[in-house]
Amino acid sequence: MEILLYILTGALVGFAVGLTGVGGGSLMTPLLLLFGFPPHIAIGTDLLYASLTKASGVLIHHRQQTINWRVVAVLGAGSVPAAGLTILVLHYFFTGSQTYSHILTSSLGAMLMLTALVLLAKKWLIPAKQQTDPSLQLFYQRHTKLLTWLMGILLGTFVTLSSVGAGAIGTAILLVLYPCLASNRIVGTDLAHAVPLTLVAGLGHVFLGNVDFQLLVSLLIGSLPAIYVGTRIGSRLPDRVMHPVLASTLLALGVKYAFF
């Protein structure tokens, strides 16, 4: 009976991801917490789940040549080592998952709130991207690599602690730092960076004993076909309807986990 519930949960999240385009971590981890899973299991399992479900999307974008691999490399140079270092800190500086669970839930709350704000601000980010001041473009050209690396470090740290942000927040970072990058290349580049980040972070949580493999397989069985169905339906629904509803939900959950 529990396995059926997990399969249905995977289907629900997969359908929502296909419908809204928002990363599964923003939806899956809070849902697993509501079902009673401890934070370390919810976050660790979701990270590995995310790496596996996003991998097929990277292959599609690679074939379509919509990935800027140089940007992926710079982001990954910051995020992947940061993810590994975060895992080592949790392992060596804490005596067990119970001693760092409050850090995980606080990080989750902060990242959910930030994701909600990014969703609400997305319609302003895109026009700003298209009308970037020339002097600002020059600043980005001079410091983009350093800023990208620093953002990678922050993203790697907090995605490892929360399983949230590799999608929506990663996209926002690329929109701001790379105003001349086409939208489809931003999506492809963000996805290509998210896979190794979530894989390294997920394997790190395997090392910590924070992954429930029975739960992981059940979620995958439910989510993969549901993502396809949600995508087909979501293409017919306006973002102005879906994103505010989703953002409000994520904001409320973020406040709950960050402050309560």
Tens digit of each residue's pLDDT (9 = 90 or more) over 37-58: 999 999 999 999 888 888 877 8
For 73, the token pair is 């490399």
Q: State how far the Cα of 227 lies from the Cα of 53, in Å rounded to an integer.
A: 9
For residue 144, what pLDDT is reported? 86
pLDDT at 210 over 90: yes
Average pLDDT of the residues of the chain: 81
For residues 124-160, one letter each, b for 16 or more C-beta atoms within 10 angstroms of the residue's C-beta and e for the rest, the string is eeeeebeeeeeeeeeebeeeeeebbeebbbebbbbbb
The pLDDT, as a whole number, for residue 70 is 94
